[in-house]
Amino acid sequence: MGHGSGGRMSHDLIQRVFSAAFSNPALNQANDSARLTLPSGRIAVSTDCHIVAPLFFPGGDIGRLAVCGTVNDVAMSGAVPLYLTAGFILEEGLPIAVLERVVASMQAAAQEAGIQIVAGDTKVVEKGKADGLFITTAGVGWLPEGRQIGGELAAAGDQVLLSGPVGQHGMAVLAARGELGFQAEITSDVAPLNGLIQELLAAAPHTHVLRDPTRGGLATTLNEIAVQSQVSIRIDETAVPILPTVRTVCEMLGFDPLYVANEGKLIAIVPPEELPAALSALRAHPYGAQAAHIGTVQSQDPGRVLLRTQIGGTRLLDKLAGEMLPRIC
């Protein structure tokens, strides 16, 4: 418990675990705040709290999630993510070795994303007052001159792209909890997408919308865009990539993969003339290798997402109501 008191034990923890892993000039100043240099112009800021059980799951862990989640949120505005801060809430009794693994994973993700973790804080709470480890990250990115990307900018005629198969993260975490009664080889897709976005924007500079379909999945995020932009989005069910294992496990449990969380996918909405270039750029990057053109934006039925089903019918693709629950039979 002494690790959170601010005294010598806290100092030891910071030195041993955090400074060692995250070492960079801004952090090493060891002042109350990090002083940073930004290119001139606008900045983008985002913050996100991360909780996940279990802390480690196939394809990732809470540390990678905490870095990628915020990097992606900053990058979805078209900004170039530069710096991150991290706050840790530790439950008393969490092994230092676990913390070290998580922190190493954060540093690896930060390196991959090309960003620096420049400030942080740690608090320890009594056993039972938290679930192992919670991490809050905040990110700052630089918005290049003239870049206009937002959920409100989808326009009739635009084309909808998805960077890869949906449903992996949510199903990987669920399977990792070991409550399903069967083994499923599903790996989380958690990844920093700023590199992919850079390639996309170089090829399709007039991209209107970038969003990552995290909680609530593809369907919920598309609904948010349809409402924000006051357009309808028509999705072709057969065009949405889904891995066979994810599809099978979802079918068994009564989940719809279109509502399952992703942590390494993006939706890009681009003007029609930039569709071919955008799709090629996504597919040329490892995180977009299975990118697909999944739908179009239309002006009628504003605020609605419509799905053309695999047998050629049409139905509403609504946002998720509440928690997804396994069905009875």
Partner 1 sequence: MQFTAEFRDAALVHKGIEEIRRTVTRPWTLMEICGGQTHALLNTGLDEMLPPEIELVHGPGCPVCVTSLELIDKALAIAAQPNVIFTSYGDMLRVPGSHEDLFSLRARGAQVRVVYSPLDAVRIARENPDHQVVFFAIGFETTAPANAASLLQAHALGLKNYSLLVSHVCVPPAMHAILGSPTCRVQGFLAAGHVCAVMGYQEYLPIAEQYRVPMSVTGFEPLDLVQGILLTVRQLEAGTHEVQNAYSRAVTLQGNLGAQAIISRVFQPCDRNWRGIGPIPMSGWGLRPEWAAYDAEQRFSVAHIQTQESPICIAGQILQGLKKPPQCPAFGQQCTPETPLGATMVSSEGACAAYYRYGRSR
Q: Which of 42, 247, 285, 293 binds partner 1 (CB under 8 A)?
A: 247
- Based on the shown chain and the rule CB under 8 A, indicate whether residue 184 belongs to the binding site for partner 1: no
Task: Pick from 15, 230, 300, 309 the residue near partner 1 by CB under 8 A.
Answer: 309
Q: Is 181 in the site for partner 1 (CB under 8 A)?
A: yes
Inter-CA distances, 122 with 22, 31, 137, 189, 229, Å: 14, 15, 12, 28, 40
Verify binding: residue 244, partner 1, rule CB under 8 A.
yes
CB of 314 to partner 1, least distance (A): 5
- To partner 1, the closest distance from the beta carbon of 172 in angstroms equals 17
Q: Judged by CB, which is closer to partner 1: 110, or 307? A: 307
Of the candidates 289, 290, 292, 297, the residue with the CA atom closest to the CA atom of residue 271:
297
Asked if omega into 58 is within 30° of 0 (cis), the reply is: no
For partner 1, the closer of residues 218 and 268 by Cβ is 218
CB atoms within 10 A of CB 272: 11
For partner 1, the closer of residues 62 and 307 by Cβ is: 307
Considering only the stretches 5-13, 28-36, 287-295, 321-329, report the one whose residues sit in contact with partner 1 under the rule CB under 8 A: 321-329
Stretch that binds partner 1, among 28-36, 161-169, 243-251, 272-280 (CB under 8 A): 243-251
By CB under 8 A, residue 183 contacts partner 1:
no
Judged by CB under 8 A, does residue 146 bind partner 1?
Answer: no
DSSP symbols for 185-213:
---------HHHHHHHHHH-TT--EEE--
* Chain centre distance of CA 119: 21
**Sign for the pseudo-dihedral over CA of 160, 166, 169, 170:** positive
DSSP state of 59: T
Least distance from partner 1 to the Cβ atom of residue 316, Å:
2
For tokens 């949405």, the residue is 240
Nearest by Cα to 16 from 93, 119, 90, 100: 100
Per the CB < 8 A criterion, the answer to whether 305 and 222 are in contact is yes
Q: Judged by CB, which is closer to partner 1: 97, or 311?
A: 311
Name which of 61, 72, 64, 321 is nearest 173 in CA terms: 61
Nearer to partner 1, 30 or 311 (CB): 311
30 contributes a contact to partner 1 by CB under 8 A: no
Q: Residue 300, interface with partner 1 (CB under 8 A)?
A: no
Beta-bridge mates of residue 135? 50, 88
- Nearest to partner 1 of 222, 268 (CB atom): 222
How many residues touch partner 1 under the rule CB under 8 A: the total is 29
**Sites of contact with partner 1 (CB under 8 A):** 179-181, 244, 247-248, 251, 253-254, 304, 306-316, 318, 321-322, 325-329
